[in-house]
Structure formats: structure tokens, C-alpha cells
Amino acid sequence: MHKIGLIDYGMGNIHSVTKSLEGLGEEILLIKNFNQTKSCKAIILPGVGAFDPAMINLINAEIISDLKNWIKSGKSFLGICLGLQLLFESSDEGKVQGLGFLKGNIQKIPNLANQRIPHMGWCKLLPTKKNTLLKLEELNNWVYFVHSYHAIPNDFSIVAAQVDYGSEKLTAIIENDNLLACQFHPEKSGKTGEKLLRRWLSNIQ
């Protein structure tokens, strides 16, 4: 069992993430101040809602520099949904700068024929490289998405999995050393989500 810090900044799917991880036997600590993280083995940045209000809440919470230091230290980190998007430099959804931990920006999902926005529902993950969550030979890893914006990294090598969206492919998983983030909601993705969370947890040092 690990103690996992869940950043509580007023924009996260706190309840569902907590229940999901507690169901896997983990201890969850809601983090409002980084002094609380001393006993934590990993940190999760959840997120539901719009980019600018989320960034403003993080700024007001005065935890951004501590969060950056956590990631630089090599400790385990997981971003979920909006928690992935906030890691980048900017978003077309708003005007406030992102955390900038990753180079690139968040763009509106293209308006394609026969495809709806938001991109919502169950979709199959398509791994692009060996990564913590997925095995390249695995098939039929279906997970649950709800989003209208998607990540465009400057460096494609950090993209660990994508998902089909008509003729386009959208970023589904980012992995860069100890920093891991999912555009989908593993806590709402049934047995597949549980499997992916277990794999992340098994890699926590």
C-alpha cells in the first residue's frame, strides 16, 4: 500500500479518483498544501472543467513551484484529463499560461464530419511506444473520454498512446520519465482503468 497525494484545487474529480484508488487498497491524502506531501509516494493532478479557472485555482493555491520541484525530483506523478492539459504551455481554450512542464499546447479538437465534440465515450487505446500503462501487444483496451481539447506536444516521443477520432488521432497518454498523464478517465474506465492504475501503482518506488 502507498500513500497517494491527490491535489485538491477545486477542479478535480476528487470523489471518483479517491474511491477508485481506495478500492485498490491505497491510502489517499487530499493535498491543499505541499507540506502534506512529506509522507506521499506519488501525486495525482486530477481535473474537470475549463483550463483558465483551473490554472487560476492552482496559482491561488501557491503550489505550482512545489509541484514542479516534485516532478523534477523524479517522484511519481499522474495527471488525469484536464490534469494532462494543464501540464503544457498554453491552451486555445483560454488565455492563462499553463504549467509549462511540457512543451506544446492544447488545441480544440478538429470539427470533422460524423464526429461529435466533445469527444465523449468509450474508445480503444492505440499504444505508440513501450510505456508504463500499456503493453504493445495488448488489444482492446477501451477507456472513457470526455474532452473538447487535445494535447499537441512539440516532441511526439512523449506520446505513449493515441486514440482514433475519425481521420485524426488524438493524444491519449503522455509519458516523460516519471511524469505520466492520461486524457481519459482511468477511474471511470472499468476493468481496463483498474488494470492501468494497478500498473502505475506497481511502478511507484
Q: Which residues are known to be catalytic?
A: 81, 185, 187
Query: Is-contact 96 129, C-beta < 8 A?
Result: no
